[in-house]
Amino acid sequence: MKAILENLNHSVGVVGSAVMTHDGMLVTSAIGDRRDEDALTAIGSSLVHSARKSLRSFDASELKLMTIDGSRGRIVLVDAGKAFLLVITDAHVALDATLLDIRSTVGRLKKAISLDV
Amino acid sequence: MTFQGLKSVLGALCSLRGSRPGVYEAAKKVKSLLAQGDKETAGAELLAALERWPGHSSLEDIKHFLGQRRLQDSLAELHHLEDQALKAHVRTARAFADTDNHEQAAAFVTEALKRFPDCPELHLTLGEIHLRRYLADKIPEDGRRAATCLEQTLHLDRRNPLPLKYLAGLHARIGCFRQATEDLALLDTRQADEAERRYIGELREYCSKRADAEPECDLEPGLTRVWDKGDFFMDCRDWAVPPAPAFGRADVTSILAPIVLLEATARNCVELPGVTAVVIQNEVRSEVVTADGGDVDVTALQNVTRELVAAADDACWRMELGQVRGCDLKTSVGRLALHVFADTWVGLLFADGVSATQVRTVTQQFLDRVAEQIGESHESNS
């Protein structure tokens, strides 16, 4: 699964990525050298947890995709079946193109997760 | 007989001398050609003469002189090109700094500084880029880099008051009041207008009092304290802030959009295709406008919007991704597009099945209408 993330990290503008369960537990991650992997995945887990918790109170809706635009980078969270894929990108990357790579990675992750189970 | 023979030899030599010049005549000719600026012919003549009188000092001196002169010309040309290159690098650095891609701008100026390490303009440009980022996001690394670049600028060009002004502002904002007082005392205010001079005087007095009352604080702990606190020790209004990029896209997060104005815009925009509700919030107020016939749990929408903005803000701050500009969510009941203005945020809720492209188009229409409303508000106020 880490190899799938490392492959995604080669896409234009992708800084790092991680997979976490629906309740925010880290499965695996591949974050670039310049960031603290443990801290980032912990923040990602917390984000998944609070976003899902908030949305459940709103018509019991489930989170499919979330993108946060920061002035220095973006956070993309995508539902990958039994897990969430968290991707950090540069602020100036055209997200549409990168989302294609992210979606294809989600497909591969879903297969990998179902094989693991 | 002997005398006659000698005389004829001398006569022959004299006639030969008239037809083929001696070494001094050859040297004189080369010098004359050089004086006329005909370097190529002079060079050819010199080489021919040296073949005939190899190692003769008159010719060797000219050869040495020619070599030195060629070297000087070359060096002058190189210096001229370097000077032009430096000017081009400074100009390009400024052009980069005027875009909103700070990372690319900083990378270019850093690279340019490897070539021109003693250029104060480049150090200042890089210092301004880092300072602008620091003032926006308060990330200590940016503050550290800004201070280093500004100190280097100051070291290279004492006459420019800008680096000291920026340093004074930075030190005051991060609570290094002793250092700020010293910077302000040294600051040359001759170019400042009356209002700025008065402000500098007041700021110096304030910093001096705080410096006496509080324990001394250096740059590093100051930057850390600001990061932990999430705010500066004083705002210094907009003094000592580098100018915003002239050609960067407007940062929505810096636009002050009054909540009343956003509510008015929301009432107009709720009829846009696909929109089921618009929520407008700030720290103390929350308002939801729903489309006709829209069945939306207003309280739940308000709560989810507030919680999501807070979660996004927290994640961006902790991941050092700067300020949150917006957030888009695709959920099982539809899409929610959040946009953060200076102290207010807006959420547009879309019906299930609305495409991402439509969300983007409608959101942009909403943002444009906000800009129009701000414009109208300015006109009516003036």
Q: What is the CATH number of the domain that holds B315?
A: 3.30.450.30
pLDDT at B126: 97
Query: How many Cα atoms are found within 13 Å in the side-chain-facing hemisphere of A92?
Result: 9
Q: Are residues B350 and B318 both part of a single domain?
A: yes
Which residue of A lies nearest to B302 if distances are taken between CA atoms?
A58
Is residue A35 within 8 angstroms of chain B, CB to CB? yes
- B60 found inside a domain: yes
Which residue of B lies nearest to A16 if distances are taken between CA atoms?
B319
Q: Which helix (H) or strand (E) holds A16?
A: strand A14-21
pLDDT at B76: 92
Q: Are residues B259 and B362 both part of a single domain?
A: yes
Domains of chain A: which residue ranges?
Answer: 2-116
Q: Are residues B73 and B25 both part of a single domain?
A: yes
Q: Which domain holds residue B311?
A: 252-381
Q: Are residues B213 and B309 both part of a single domain?
A: no
- Locate B42 and state its tokens: 């002079």
Smallest Cβ–Cβ distance between A68 and the set B133, B297, B327 belongs to B327
Strand partners, B277: B290, B349
Distances from the Cα of B239 to the Cα of B170, B232, B315, angstroms? 10, 14, 30
Chain A residues with CB under 8 Å of B322 CB are 70-73, 91
Q: Which helix (H) or strand (E) holds B305?
A: helix B298-318
Distance from the A89 Cα atom to the nearest Cα atom in chain B, whole angstroms: 10
pLDDT at B254: 67
Q: Are residues B176 and B266 both part of a single domain?
A: no
B132, B138 contact by CB (below 8 A): no
Per-residue pLDDT band at A41 (split at 50, 70, 90): confident
CB contact under 8 Å between A71 and B322, yes or no, is yes
In CATH, which of 3.30.930.10, 3.40.50.300, 3.30.450.30, 3.30.1780.10 is domain A2-116?
3.30.450.30
Q: Is the pTM of this model over 0.90?
A: no
- Name which of A14, A71, A77 to mutate to probe chain B: the one with the most chain B Cβ atoms within 10 A of its Cβ: A71
Q: What is the mean pLDDT of chain A?
A: 85
Which residue of B lies nearest to A70 if distances are taken between CA atoms?
B324
- Selection from B30, B96, B94, B93 nearest residue B66 by Cα: B30
- B371 found inside a domain: yes
Distance from the A51 Cα atom to the nearest Cα atom in chain B, whole angstroms: 6
- B244 found inside a domain: no
Q: Are residues B270 and B150 both part of a single domain?
A: no
Which residue of B lies nearest to A48 if distances are taken between CA atoms?
B311
Smallest Cβ–Cβ distance between B319 and the set A43, A54, A90 belongs to A43
As a whole number of angstroms, the distance between CA A79 and CA A69 comes to: 18
- B261 found inside a domain: yes
Which residue of A lies nearest to B330 if distances are taken between CA atoms?
A65
Which residue of B lies nearest to A36 if distances are taken between CA atoms?
B319
Chain A residues with CB under 8 Å of B319 CB are 35, 40, 43, 70, 73, 75, 88
Distance from the B202 Cα atom to the nearest Cα atom in chain A, whole angstroms: 34
pLDDT at B214: 87
Q: Are residues B303 and B341 both part of a single domain?
A: yes
pLDDT at B77: 92
Distance from the A53 Cα atom to the nearest Cα atom in chain B, whole angstroms: 9
pLDDT at B345: 92
Q: Measured in whole angstroms, how far is the alpha carbon of residue A39 from the centre of its chain?
A: 15
Is residue B325 within 8 angstroms of chain A, CB to CB? yes
Number of residues that this document lists for chain A: 117
- Locate B41 and state its tokens: 């012919």
- Name which of B138, B309, B330, B367 to mutate to probe chain A: the one with the most chain A Cβ atoms within 10 A of its Cβ: B330
Per-residue pLDDT band at A61 (split at 50, 70, 90): confident
Is residue A92 within 8 angstroms of chain B, CB to CB? yes
Which residue of B lies nearest to A61 if distances are taken between CA atoms?
B332
Per-residue pLDDT band at A116 (split at 50, 70, 90): low
Q: Where are the beta strands (DSSP E) in chain B?
A: 275-281, 286-290, 324-331, 334-340, 345-350
Chain A residues with CB under 8 Å of B318 CB are 39, 43
Instruction: Look at phi and psi of residue B212 and say left if phi exceeds 0, alpha if psi is from -120 to 50, else beta.
Output: alpha
pLDDT at A42: 82
Chain B residues with CB under 8 Å of A47 CB are 311-312, 314-315
Query: What are the average pLDDT values for consecutive 10-residue runs of chain B, which has 382 residues?
Result: 61 55 89 89 91 90 88 90 92 90 90 95 96 92 96 94 96 96 91 91 94 90 93 90 82 73 86 90 90 81 92 90 90 89 90 88 89 80 68
Q: Order across the sheet with A83-90: list the strands.
A: A26-31, A14-21, A83-90, A73-79, A63-70, B324-331, B334-340, B345-350, B275-281, B286-290
Smallest Cβ–Cβ distance between B137 and the set A51, A58, A71 belongs to A71
Number of inter-chain CB pairs under 8 A, A vs B: 113
Distances from the Cα of B299 to the Cα of B25, B38, B270, B313, angstroms? 107, 92, 18, 21
- B271 found inside a domain: yes
Q: What is the CATH number of the domain that holds B199?
A: 1.25.40
- B95 found inside a domain: no
- Locate B141 and state its tokens: 């690394």
As a whole number of angstroms, the distance between CA A46 and CA B316 comes to: 12
Q: Are residues B282 and B356 both part of a single domain?
A: yes
- B375 found inside a domain: yes
Chain A residues with CB under 8 Å of B315 CB are 43-44, 46-47, 68, 75
pLDDT at B2: 56
Q: At residue B320, what is the residue type? A: E
